[in-house]
Amino acid sequence: MAARAILAADILQPADRPVIPARLDIVIPCLNAAATLPGTLDALARESGDGWACVTVADGGSADGTPAVASAAGARVIAAPRGRGPQLAAGAAAGRAPWLLFLHADTRLGIGWRAAVERFAADPANERRAAYFRLRYDSARPAARRLERIVAWRSRALGLPYGDQGLLIARPFYEELGGFAPLPLMEDVDFVRRIGRHRLAGLPADAVTSAARYERDGWLARPARNLLCLTLYAAGVAPRLIRRVYG
């Protein structure tokens, strides 16, 4: 019940405390994410009290109780067509807050994330820009630190932050760009390319994401596969085919 009071935008409040309209819609696409979603929601709850943010979980047909986990934590749950692109688009359409934050279900935002978001959103110059967090992996391996540095360079120099870094954007700008395309994969690359490198900024807060794929596939093999997927996408290969390579 404590998490519900923190996360829900439409919570009951005493009569002398008016409901504060959410300033931020946080959209989390999910598919069988019951194991990681609680940590993601808990990290949000630590800094998003007072109705400032509304969390929407766009579920693509989970069979592991993900919707129940999300509802118990106070998040709004909607059903969406399976595929990260369609789920992100559906989650965005379900809200009306002036700012949007897209976040993966296995990514926990670090201390200070709300202050970083509020500073970015308060600057009128950022109404036609977008921002992402510093990526950190939940692994103590030196390989994780090396990959974090590569990701920081890729995001800064190439303007290619991926979805596991989160994405903060004003709703009017998001809608002007056409929102997320209904792609099963590479929806994050497609969207940040439309934003453009010079309209992207890094936020001074961490996004701690799961290293499970890297631990499973290898800290060299997994990045190599990701790079192959990016190359295939740049060459015009359909995302539904790239998905077979991604694994």
CATH of the domain at 139: 3.90.550.10
Residue 236 lies in a domain: no
Residue 196 lies in a domain: yes
Q: Residue 170 sits in which domain range?
A: 2-216
User: What is the residue-averaged pLDDT of the chain?
Assistant: 91
Q: What's the pLDDT tens digit per position in 66-114?
A: 999 999 999 999 999 999 999 999 999 999 999 999 999 999 999 999 9
What does the pLDDT read at residue 4? 37
- pLDDT bin (cut points 50, 70, 90) of residue 20 is low
Please compute the mean of the pLDDT values over residues 105-128 and round it to a whole number.
97
Q: Domains in the chain: how many in total?
A: 1
Angle between helices 221-234 and 239-246 (to 10 degrees): 170
Integer Cα distance of 33 and 25 in angstroms: 20
Please compute the mean of the pLDDT values over residues 132-147 and round it to a whole number.
97
DSSP single-letter state for residue 20: P
Q: What's the pLDDT tens digit per position in 52-66?
A: 999 999 999 999 999
**Contact criterion met (CB below 8 Å) for 232 and 161:** no
Pick from 182, 64, 201: nearest CA to 121: 201
Integer Cα distance of 108 and 222 in angstroms: 21
What does the pLDDT read at residue 7? 41
What does the pLDDT read at residue 168? 98
Integer Cα distance of 75 and 96 in angstroms: 15
What global pTM score does this model have?
0.90
Pick from 102, 89, 86, 83: nearest CA to 184: 83
Residue 166 lies in a domain: yes
Give the Å distances, CA to CA, from 95 to 9, 101, 160, 188, 217.
Answer: 10, 11, 26, 20, 37
CA atoms within 13 Å, Cβ hemisphere of 19? 11
